[in-house]
Copies of this chain bind each other. A is one copy, B any other.
């Protein structure tokens, strides 16, 4: 029955989708005498963790005596916005804890388990581990690789172009556009180059389906966008804006932060985003920005919206730069689906 209860905890975890910000999705199920007596999830950044939410639903402390807790992620043993869950588990009198995945954060990994065991609780680790890890691909990636999960996203015609020169060009249809808006909300930050901002003047907002809308990041070494205060990223304050530039600028709206340095390489930008705790990044181009991430090997997934169009001539090609390209990279984990009139193709960096 262990597997059934853990599968239930995994389903429970999903209730926090798009509400937990940098926190992972976690689900918990408490079982006594083979009966589920409580369920809980981490429902919102800053709120109770899953274990405590489950414990709190029990009406009397006696119910919990000698119970088993199934939890998708190792209970925390440090005081953050909430007191440690390990303490709550001990106090509740839970005697056995089944954990799907140890916390991938190397600073805390194993500490919850260790403490519980030191208090005489029986702990098992790994049941449905893969399924539990799939709940939090970006959180896991961030702690394991020490940088955000980076998706290079573009919309391309059937002849490999992304736009007419110097002109905002809409290639994908309305169904895909809606889909992309919602997809943005699954990331903690969206990144574009200044050229995209100047030509397209995008809001770079999601569909507002997340409690924590993605931070909008613009790479603008020369500070070209500062002269245009009527750009949507300045006038629309629905999500923070980070600008990486050489220029220092005063009098910006309060939702805009400028990170200043003489030279921002892609590696330096990513290092800075790590400091900011950003676990996932949706890079929307243009061509040179994509190529800079590709060349620096700072990417994990290629995401392509392929539109049934042709542009030809001098239209802008997808990912390119003056850098000599000397090799063909093969991708893995391909998937393809139709979204309205377009195709969505994703593939991961081959190992």
In the complex, whether A55 has a CB less than 8 A from a CB of chain B is no
Evaluate contact between A159 and B157: CB separation under 8 angstroms.
Answer: no
Q: Report the contact-size class of chain A (Cβ under 8 Å from the partner).
A: 35 or more
Which residues of A, 248-274, contact B by the 8 Å Cβ criterion?
Answer: none
Evaluate contact between A331 and B158: CB separation under 8 angstroms.
Answer: yes
In the complex, whether A304 has a CB less than 8 A from a CB of chain B is yes
In the complex, whether A319 has a CB less than 8 A from a CB of chain B is yes
Closest to A294 in B: B312
Contact code string A2-44 (vs B, CB < 8 Å = 1, else 0): 0000000000000000000000000000000000000000000
Evaluate contact between A324 and B328: CB separation under 8 angstroms.
Answer: no
Evaluate contact between B331 and A312: CB separation under 8 angstroms.
Answer: no
In the complex, whether A334 has a CB less than 8 A from a CB of chain B is yes
User: Can you list 20 A-B contacts with CB-CB less than 8 angstroms, sorted by A residue number?
Assistant: A158-B302, A158-B331, A159-B319, A164-B325, A171-B328, A291-B313, A295-B313, A302-B310, A306-B345, A309-B329, A309-B331, A310-B328, A311-B325, A311-B327, A311-B328, A313-B321, A315-B325, A317-B317, A317-B318, A336-B343
In the complex, whether A92 has a CB less than 8 A from a CB of chain B is no
In the complex, whether A165 has a CB less than 8 A from a CB of chain B is yes
Q: How far is the CA of A224 from the CA of B32 in the complex (A)?
A: 83
Contact code string A317-351 (vs B, CB < 8 Å = 1, else 0): 11111111111111110101000000101010000
Q: How far is the CA of A323 from the CA of B165 in the complex (A)?
A: 11
Identical subunits present = 2
Chain B: minimal CB distance from A18 (Å): 28
In the complex, whether A314 has a CB less than 8 A from a CB of chain B is yes
Contact code string A141-159 (vs B, CB < 8 Å = 1, else 0): 0000000000000101111
In the complex, whether A161 has a CB less than 8 A from a CB of chain B is yes
In the complex, whether A202 has a CB less than 8 A from a CB of chain B is no
Q: How far is the CA of A34 from the CA of B6 in the complex (A)?
A: 69
Contact code string A81-96 (vs B, CB < 8 Å = 1, else 0): 0000000000000000
Chain B: minimal CB distance from A338 (Å): 8
In the complex, whether A160 has a CB less than 8 A from a CB of chain B is yes
Q: Given contacts A159-B319, A160-B318, A306-B306, list 11 more A-B pairs with CB under 8 A.
A: A156-B160, A157-B328, A158-B331, A159-B290, A161-B317, A161-B320, A165-B324, A290-B312, A313-B321, A314-B322, A336-B343
